[in-house]
Structure 1
Amino acid sequence: MQEALNSLSSAAQSGAATPSSQTDNYQVIRRSGDVVSFAPQKIAVALTKAFLAVRGAQGAASASVRDMVNELTEGVVRALLRSRPEGGTFHIEDIQDQVELGLMRGGHHDVARAYVLYRDRRNQERAEQKKSAEAAAAAATAKPAPTLHVTDNGQRVPLDQQRLQALIESACLNLNADIQSAPIVAETLRNLYDGVPLAEVYKAAILAARTLIEKDPDYTYVTARLLLHTIVREVLQRDVQPAEMQAAYAEYFPGFIRKGVDNELLNPELLNFDLPRLGAALKAERDQQFDYLGLQTLYDRYFLHVKKTRIELPQSFFMRVAMGLALNEDDRNARAIEFYELLSSFDFMSSTPTLFNSGTLRSQLSSCYLTTVPDDLDGIYESIKENALLSKFAGGLGNDWTRVRALGSRIKGTNGESQGVVPFLKVVNDTAVAVNQGGKRKGAVCTYLETWHLDIEEFLELRKNTGDDRRRTHDMNTANWIPDLFMKRVMEKGQWTLFSPADCPDLHDLYGEAFEKAYTAYEAKTESGELKLFKRVPAVDMWRKMLSMLFETGHPWITFKDPCNIRSPQQHVGVVHSSNLCTEITLNTSDTETAVCNLGSVNLSRHIKEGVDANGVAVKMLDHDKLRKTVNTAMRMLDNVIDINYYAVNKARDSNLRHRPVGLGLMGFQDALYEMRTAYASQGAVEFADQSMEAICYYAYWASTELAKERGTYSSFKGSLWDQGILPPDTLKLLEKARGGYVEVDRSAQLDWDALRAKIARDGMRNSNCVAIAPTATISNIVGVDASIEPSFGNLSVKSNLSGEFTVINQYLVRDLKRLGLWDDVMVMDLKHFDGSLRAIDRVPQEIKNLYATAFEVEPQWLVEAASRRQKWIDQAQSLNIYMAGASGKKLHDTYMLAWVRGLKTTYYLRTTSATNIEKSTVQSRVLNAVPTAPAAPAAQPAMSTLEAAAAAARAQAPATDIKFCAIDDPGCEACQ
């Protein structure tokens, strides 16, 4: 066993399936200091030996294990190469870290546990050996250490270690007292070799700091600052001390804009701003706010570059975006500074398309596009063409396909029979793959189909991995667009009839009582024989199939047609036929209008302040004054997007200019709860969801009516619910009336909605829709908070995106555990083993476990209850992921039926995990959760016994897991912000 784990521990080569041509530019530093070529040969063998050591010969020899080993090996290589895309040097520890990560992410917790324990033991042994060697060296005559040289601009010069140490020390300033430069310096020097390029020295410092993030979350800021140093060197072509950055920014900024224009990256109109004034307004100290994930993401995917050399720095990036949004303002310089302040402070962040393209020659700033597909060949392929054009410029797509006739419907032109919706959806799927938004992120589309469509049963199976692959769409999202009548039939155990839209075309545009009347009339026609093409099924059976497919494949999502329409302010000028890619947009679509939405999100955690409650006790609470100011500016920015935006299709332009919808959302909800020390699974969190969303919506609607006073109302305002004095919370009564009940929602309010109603009656609204909560998958990484309204996925986890893999650790938790004296290496190891969960760690107090419960430890009804409180205020919808441990048919039914009764408009991904993955065995918990002392090895036993014990403990801890991840966790998918 020692040989097996030692082989894995010392494998300096990896990736058996990786061509050697891809690894020619890489080297590996062994612990001895020797530098060897990175040859993808040995890790597959080493992994096989590790499985053999832990699971025995029979378990490790199976074909499935061989496949897993190959997959793990390829994953290790991909991660290593991705961390240094242009070549470089790995230390042996880098490879071990990736092996450990691969084992954990692959669910091989028994092997990983043995490996972690073994590495820890070997580190202790090496430390003892080093101490002995140092003592021996001190006793002998000291020899001068050899001088380490670096290569800089082709010149071989001695490494300036004092300068390197000063750089690392400056990166550690003003962080918590546990952040030390010494271990980073030591690790950096350990990873160097004589003649190393100077750029590799700085890269080694970044990687050295990065390895410490799991020890203390503040090391993420150290890593980001070291990365910033390399970015500054790349952009300014010189070293700049932190104290000099303010002046450097002011000097560099006008030249940056000129360079961007000269290289046809930026709009020449930016040259007409007061560039010296804007350069002086940049705040260099805000570069220190970034964590490593945030800054690396910006560097890799957002900063402008010329021939792959970056020309943009963080603060100039935010100012460039702000300038692009202020182009049409009367005082464009003042507004640009105002917008910059909001972005660079992390109080608010525009969506990814806006960040990508603001101020550029092709300013496609909108996030989402919704279309409805007609029932004719020309219209179908025109819709697919529109998908391609919109996706090319970074738009997420939602397509309504309900009008397209079902399988078996007659085609008049050929007197043949239709092949239905599915073959066309295969084309949509492949188009999304082919048009990948310029390589910046994958194209993404979601197709919606109503539950009465005769092709619905095959639609439910589109994401299955079995069956005819020509009738499968593995890359496209799907969603059910469910009328309330179907949900009532499920509740009442009635029958459900499927039709072809060619026979009942009006159902597509009907909802509420009108839909029910027309639908039952068509059912009567089937009874009389007047309508031949139909199918009747028990509604409960259809519902069960919908839920089972959702559990099995993650699709189609559950979304509700009637609340989206009955509560829509724009029901006087059209129908909402679908939501968007991420289920938060609910706008009308038609043959003449492609709906567009422009997104941005308030960082809720930045709007919490110290206050005093009714009992005079000091507490954290929502900062209404700051939130109002943030929302006012954010709404102005979003409204500006509409006029500045580049529209790839005219139908999108016409619709956006006519209705002017925007979608102000939020992120950092979980972080705000941590600030207030409120558990997600609590009534307090539900109340905070209610109060915070009421405030955001109230201030957003007020800001829109203020913009209307300044700029005029949107053109279709007359006749809207806004115009009738019916505000979003009032529409719950309309929904309840249309359903005949089945609406159980808290109706309480804290703000003066009558004053807002009077203000709108006087000044109108600038925007038909104002609020939508998007997933914020990427922009939350940039500002360093939990995404959107999500609970924390894990207190110690790894995030993957196109920039690589990043250790993310909960800084709030670490702060509390330090206060309790519980933060140590064993806690880190246990958090890794238990997937970032505290539940099985005995020494952590229950109060801390409750506060830092992870997503799968929060019962899904809490997610639904909080979402219900938000939805009553929102004029659009919210991207609501459902996390469910120990999923069952009953639990799925209860959760989604609760969502419907609570008035939700949409839900998003279902993420499930088995109960056994949450309730891992704690037989060894007293050993695992104790702070161990290094035991002396029994004299009669070899060191191998440590490994035997590690493997035995790991086998006892073997978990079962069936976590179903959505495309968000695919490193190539960041389609939703």
Structure 2
Amino acid sequence: MSLEVQSESQAARPHPVTAGGATAAATPGYQVIRRNGLVTPFDLAKISVALTKAFLAVEGNSAAASRRVHDIVAELSAQIAASLARRADAGRTFHIEDIQDQVELALMRGEHHKVARAYVLYREDRARERARSAPPAAVLAEPAPVLRMTAADGSLVPIKRARLAAVVEEASAGLDGVSATAILTETGRNLYDGISADELAQAPILAARTFIETEPNYAKASARLLLDKLRSEVLTFIDGCPEQATQAEMAGRYGAYFHAYLAKGIAAELIDPELQRFDLGRIAAALKPERDLQFDYLGLQTLYDRYFLHVEGRRFELPQAFFMRVAMGLALREIDRDARAIEFYDLLSSFDFMASTPTLFNAGTLRPQLSSCFLTTVPDDLDGIFKSIRDNALLAKYSGGLGNDWSRVRGLGAHIKGTNGESQGVVPFLKVANDTAIAVNQGGKRKGAVCAYLETWHIDIEEFLDLRKNTGDDRRRTHDMNTANWVPDLFMQRVAENGPWTLFSPDETPDLHDLYGKAFKTAYEAYEAKAARGEMKVTREVRAADLWRRMLTMVFETGHPWITFKDPCNIRSPQGHVGVVHSSNLCTEITLNTSNDEVAVCNLGSVNLAQHVTPRGLDRARLAATVKTAMRMLDNVVDINFYTIPEARRSNLKHRPVGLGIMGFQDALQALRLPYASDAAVRFADESMEAIAYEAISASVDLAAERGRYPSFAGSLWSRGILPVDSIELVAEARGGLDCDRSQTLDWAGLRQRVMTIGMRNSNCMAIAPTATISNICGVAQSIEPAYQNLFVKSNMSGDFTVVNAALVHDLKARGLWDEVMVSDLKYFDGSVGQIDRIPDDLKALYATAFEIDSSWLIEAAARRQKWIDQAQSLNLYIANPSGKKLDQLYRLAWERGLKTTYYLRSRSATHVEKSTLKGTDGKLNAVSASIPVAAAPIVLGEAWGQACAVDDPTCEACQ
């Protein structure tokens, strides 16, 4: 049977075979590199023909079989075409072996195991046949034909093999386990006569990537090869003619390049001309070109695709220029701004701290919108509703993430006085907000993203729970917008008591929106009594436990709405004297006041905890220095920021909140040899957050001494000597008790006195954000997350990337356990070490993955952090085998421990790391991203079952 896809022996004519419902002929723009080096057009129809032959050879050619095979082949062909398109290199070419690898992988993914086995055996037979018919040694000894590159002017010039070899050697230097010879050999497989300059630059990068799964250091080699491509692109743009430089050559040219880079950026109206007024000689001399070498491939490719400045797609910003541009942008209003810019640059480029994505995008530009999060509250009138939606668009335009409180909007059936009609409720307006978020996609850098919050007593709460379902009236669904429950303590108490819960329309209960704690309880019970007397027009009574059950069902089925807690967010808020926290933000870590006049703004950045531990523990001196500088940078954002609406400017200047967070927590634990699921890890979460909180509050006091208190300081918890660790007792008092740790080790009494005497520069100091993208840049685990898997493919807006836990590989090498069999085992067991017998128990515990760790450990660690944090945490929960009982226990535990918010519930996808050992790929073909949500086990909560948010969903804002 002839199974070879795109075989050289097949005719070049198109085949009238359908794929995905359309005739698949030669696909324009894509080409195939044959084994003999020739290049021919890519023809999807040949894949369909080969697949059809493979299925019929195994399953027979009856009419029924033929009809079934036709449908299967159409679906597989479309999948293969889409996968190849995602993986196309700069020149839109594929090697013949890569295409056949994709066919094999598609068959295995589809569980067509017999066909896949036959296909694999056929490929092996063909390989042996080619080997038997290979030319004699004498012919092979002849010099290889000279391959040429197509230059920009269309002429053909010889490929500079010596330079290619030198660049690969330089990229491999000093990296244990990396072979320049192996990269060059693999590169040669993808060269052909007439190759374009872009393809030639991409070829060694793709070659190095094929080895990442067996040696993590190839990720650094791949990054260094991408640097060569970037340098060529940048220098050619700067100089106006083709230009190249190795890393060693560039080290001597970085200063001169930096001057030209600023001039080009200013001329293109992308960089603020004010940056030219710095002492550029001093600034350029402070650049550290060697820090270009510390990136992994995922980090640098992310910067290349989404962060570096470009003109019509041509980048002109190198990594150290990028970090310095951001640093200078943050130092614009400093007295000695040259010294501060260098200080900020050193912190960013060392990866000890990283500013948030909007700051990295926009600092030093003409529109420096540097803030990450915006929170609004939507009024109950048409003008206010549509103004809020317009504000969403303006805030999202420059990379802001949005949290909207919709609890004031009257519910379905409520009376509208102006028209004497009935309200259609909050859902139709949420649909408009959803579509606005999609329309404003932040210039293609990342999707516009918004989260809608609704309080649990709102009459529309049950419809709100259904917003992300894929069934029902699509006009009442919001498939792209995140949603979150804003849950009062009274509701949780009613759930525990199995009591009733009454739903109201906010036009009849307007004060509930602003009340919390005991005041909320009093008012709510009064409205319940009024409803019982028949004095309320729109109301409905449900069982609290039934509504809770449905909330958990929906968070499992759709990943939404998230569950966040209104009372601890407000009771512990330092700013309760001047307003109310009506919602959190897009990622549930921000808890700031909102009103008609104030749109809350938060400015974020994260300490890389992995950089601040030694085998002996936390490096307090380094951490103190990092936090001090980081807090200054974050405070500067408030004054430099470009505000798109006046309500945001008013709020930010009045309260000056910032959110210092952490990332690399899992890396720090592994460096300290502490398993995530252990009391020691919980204690480290406590110790590290206490130290960060202490230094952050101290730094804000220092800034207050230098620059003055924030304007609304008087009357705040700070001014009354109530620090975040003290405000726990306020929650305990409101609830009649709170089961959480209160221990502390540092001199909080002394700091408390300084806060009361000198004041604070910032109303809020800490918030732990997801950090998904900036942690990629720094090459560490995101935020406070446990590792998803130890070997997997990560998907984001930059593509698919093989990710290997380098620390695990290091430990396995030290014990003589890292080999091809171990790689295969990790794939087979979906990146988990728990079921691999050869791995010792201590390493199984240390490298346990997210779904192997009981999420109660995540909650216990988060509770220890929460006592120190004046805002909240983006806390994902993982559950491999969900049940109603488990979900109930988890979320009740989160509330009982005093957590303010939770984030995504993540369930394991049914697509895992591929159990194949395909060779000759870039690593992406060896695994299946867990980005496709699929049905999980039924949840024991009524009839519903489905999926929670899958890990690394490239369409999910949390994963960006």
Decide whether the 8 Å contact of 1:215 with 1:825 is kept in 2.
yes
Residue 93 of structure 2: aligned partner: 89
Closer/same/farther in 2, CA of residues 288 and 897 from structure 1, 3 Å limit: same
Give a deviation string over 1:404-452, Cα, whole Å, max 9, x none: 1111111111111111111111111111111111221111110000000
Closer/same/farther in 2, CA of residues 888 and 317 from structure 1, 3 Å limit: same
Closer/same/farther in 2, CA of residues 68 and 265 from structure 1, 3 Å limit: farther
Aligned residue identity for 1:669: F
Aligned residue identity for 1:647: Y
Separation in 1, partners of 2:63, 2:598: 59
Structure scoring higher RCO (CA < 8 A, sep ≥ 6) equals 1
Closer/same/farther in 2, CA of residues 839 and 657 from structure 1, 3 Å limit: same
Residue 508 of structure 2: aligned partner: 503
Question: Which of 440, 444, 447 is the matching residue for 1:439?
Answer: 444
Separation in 2, partners of 1:54, 1:686: 55
Separation in 1, partners of 2:310, 2:138: 55
Closer/same/farther in 2, CA of residues 403 and 466 from structure 1, 3 Å limit: same
Separation in 2, partners of 1:893, 1:187: 52
Q: Following TM superposition, by how much is the alpha carbon of 1:393 offset from its aligned partner in structure 2, in angstroms?
A: 1.3
Closer/same/farther in 2, CA of residues 975 and 882 from structure 1, 3 Å limit: closer
Question: Which of 27, 33, 43 is the matching residue for 1:29?
Answer: 33
Separation in 1, partners of 2:54, 2:602: 51
Closer/same/farther in 2, CA of residues 184 and 327 from structure 1, 3 Å limit: same
Q: SS state of the match for residue 41, structure 1? A: helix
Separation in 1, partners of 2:784, 2:49: 44
Residue 219 of structure 1: aligned partner: 218
Separation in 1, partners of 2:212, 2:18: 26
Decide whether the 8 Å contact of 1:725 with 1:761 is kept in 2.
yes
Q: Which moved more, 1:255-264 or 1:45-54?
A: 45-54
Separation in 1, partners of 2:794, 2:64: 29
Query: Does the alignment pair 1:77 with 2:81?
Result: yes
Decide whether the 8 Å contact of 1:5 with 1:53 is kept in 2.
no
Separation in 1, partners of 2:184, 2:481: 47
Give a deviation string over 1:261-313, Cα, whole Å, max 9, x none: 11111111111011121111111110101111111111111111112211100
Question: Which of 275, 278, 282 is the matching residue for 1:277?
Answer: 282
Residue 783 of structure 1: aligned partner: 778
1:296-445 mapped onto 2 (5 Å cutoff): 296-445=301-450
Closer/same/farther in 2, CA of residues 827 and 258 from structure 1, 3 Å limit: same
1:682-701 mapped onto 2 (5 Å cutoff): 682-701=678-697
Q: SS state of the match for residue 587, structure 1? A: coil
Separation in 1, partners of 2:130, 2:70: 37
Residue 723 of structure 1: aligned partner: 719
Q: Following TM superposition, by how much is the alpha carbon of 1:830 offset from its aligned partner in structure 2, in angstroms?
A: 2.7
Closer/same/farther in 2, CA of residues 967 and 144 from structure 1, 3 Å limit: closer
Query: Does the alignment pair 1:233 with 2:235?
Result: no
Residue 835 of structure 1: aligned partner: 830
Residue 162 of structure 2: aligned partner: 162
Query: Does the alignment pair 1:480 with 2:485?
Result: yes
Residue 941 of structure 1: aligned partner: none
Query: Does the alignment pair 1:622 with 2:618?
Result: yes
Q: Following TM superposition, by how much is the alpha carbon of 1:248 offset from its aligned partner in structure 2, in angstroms?
A: 1.2
Separation in 1, partners of 2:795, 2:555: 24
Q: SS state of the match for residue 729, structure 1? A: helix
Closer/same/farther in 2, CA of residues 67 and 577 from structure 1, 3 Å limit: farther
Decide whether the 8 Å contact of 1:113 with 1:833 is kept in 2.
no
Residue 858 of structure 1: aligned partner: 853
Give a deviation string over 1:529-554, Cα, whole Å, max 9, x none: 22242111111011001001111111
Decide whether the 8 Å contact of 2:150 with 2:197 is kept in 1.
yes
Q: Which moved more, 1:795-804 or 1:198-207?
A: 198-207
Closer/same/farther in 2, CA of residues 469 and 826 from structure 1, 3 Å limit: same
Query: Does the alignment pair 1:912 with 2:907?
Result: yes
Q: Following TM superposition, by how much is the alpha carbon of 1:46 offset from its aligned partner in structure 2, in angstroms?
A: 4.9
Q: SS state of the match for residue 860, structure 2? A: helix
Aligned residue identity for 2:899: L
1:846-885 mapped onto 2 (5 Å cutoff): 846-885=841-880
Aligned residue identity for 1:400: D
Q: Following TM superposition, by how much is the alpha carbon of 1:699 offset from its aligned partner in structure 2, in angstroms?
A: 0.8
Query: Does the alignment pair 1:711 with 2:707?
Result: yes
Decide whether the 8 Å contact of 1:304 with 1:312 is kept in 2.
yes
Question: Which of 752, 757, 763 is the matching residue for 2:747?
Answer: 752
Aligned residue identity for 1:971: P
Separation in 1, partners of 2:292, 2:568: 44
Closer/same/farther in 2, CA of residues 370 and 112 from structure 1, 3 Å limit: farther
Q: SS state of the match for residue 900, structure 2? A: coil
Count of matched residue pairs? 925
Q: Following TM superposition, by how much is the alpha carbon of 1:908 offset from its aligned partner in structure 2, in angstroms?
A: 0.4
Decide whether the 8 Å contact of 1:489 with 1:495 is kept in 2.
yes
Closer/same/farther in 2, CA of residues 821 and 976 from structure 1, 3 Å limit: closer
Closer/same/farther in 2, CA of residues 484 and 141 from structure 1, 3 Å limit: closer
Give a deviation string over 1:509-534, Cα, whole Å, max 9, x none: 00000000000111111122222421
Residue 954 of structure 2: aligned partner: 971
Q: Following TM superposition, by how much is the alpha carbon of 1:144 offset from its aligned partner in structure 2, in angstroms?
A: 3.8
Separation in 2, partners of 1:7, 1:78: 17
Query: Does the alignment pair 1:293 with 2:298?
Result: yes
Give a deviation string over 1:943-972, Cα, whole Å, max 9, x none: xxxxxxxxxxxxxxxx99669463873434
- Please report the TM-score for the alignment, with normalisation by the length of structure 1: 0.89
Residue 698 of structure 2: aligned partner: 702
Decide whether the 8 Å contact of 1:79 with 1:804 is kept in 2.
no
Query: Does the alignment pair 1:665 with 2:669?
Result: no
Decide whether the 8 Å contact of 1:256 with 1:312 is kept in 2.
yes
Q: Which moved more, 1:145-154 or 1:517-526?
A: 145-154
Unaligned stretches of 5+ residues in structure 1: 612-620, 922-927, 932-958
Separation in 2, partners of 1:477, 1:8: 47
Question: Which of 877, 888, 891 is the matching residue for 1:896?
Answer: 891
Q: Which moved more, 1:766-775 or 1:832-841?
A: 832-841
Query: Does the alignment pair 1:194 with 2:193?
Result: yes
Q: Which moved more, 1:451-460 or 1:11-20?
A: 11-20
Aligned residue identity for 1:900: W
Aligned residue identity for 2:603: N
Residue 185 of structure 1: aligned partner: 184
Decide whether the 8 Å contact of 1:795 with 1:810 is kept in 2.
yes
Aligned residue identity for 1:889: G
- Of all paired residues, the percent bearing the same amino acid is 63
Residue 173 of structure 1: aligned partner: 173
Aligned residue identity for 1:906: T
1:628-643 mapped onto 2 (5 Å cutoff): 628-643=624-639
Aligned residue identity for 1:969: D
Separation in 2, partners of 1:465, 1:858: 30
Give a deviation string over 1:7-26, Cα, whole Å, max 9, x none: 99999999945897994222
Closer/same/farther in 2, CA of residues 50 and 675 from structure 1, 3 Å limit: farther
Decide whether the 8 Å contact of 1:778 with 1:974 is kept in 2.
no
Give a deviation string over 1:451-491, Cα, whole Å, max 9, x none: 00111011111111111111111111110000000000001
Q: SS state of the match for residue 369, structure 1? A: strand
Decide whether the 8 Å contact of 2:796 with 2:959 is kept in 1.
no
Q: Following TM superposition, by how much is the alpha carbon of 1:381 offset from its aligned partner in structure 2, in angstroms?
A: 0.8
Give a deviation string over 1:581-623, Cα, whole Å, max 9, x none: 0000000000110000011111111111133xxxxxxxxx111
Closer/same/farther in 2, CA of residues 523 and 704 from structure 1, 3 Å limit: same
Separation in 2, partners of 1:29, 1:703: 59
Q: Following TM superposition, by how much is the alpha carbon of 1:147 offset from its aligned partner in structure 2, in angstroms?
A: 2.3
Query: Does the alignment pair 1:795 with 2:800?
Result: no
Q: CA RMSD in A?
A: 3.1
Q: SS state of the match for residue 182, structure 2? A: helix
Q: SS state of the match for residue 606, structure 2? A: strand
Separation in 1, partners of 2:470, 2:299: 35
Decide whether the 8 Å contact of 1:396 with 1:976 is kept in 2.
no
Closer/same/farther in 2, CA of residues 964 and 838 from structure 1, 3 Å limit: farther
Q: SS state of the match for residue 233, structure 2? A: helix
Residue 924 of structure 1: aligned partner: none
Residue 614 of structure 1: aligned partner: none
Q: Following TM superposition, by how much is the alpha carbon of 1:41 offset from its aligned partner in structure 2, in angstroms?
A: 2.0
Aligned residue identity for 2:363: S
Residue 204 of structure 2: aligned partner: 205
Q: Following TM superposition, by how much is the alpha carbon of 1:114 offset from its aligned partner in structure 2, in angstroms?
A: 8.3
Decide whether the 8 Å contact of 1:443 with 1:975 is kept in 2.
no
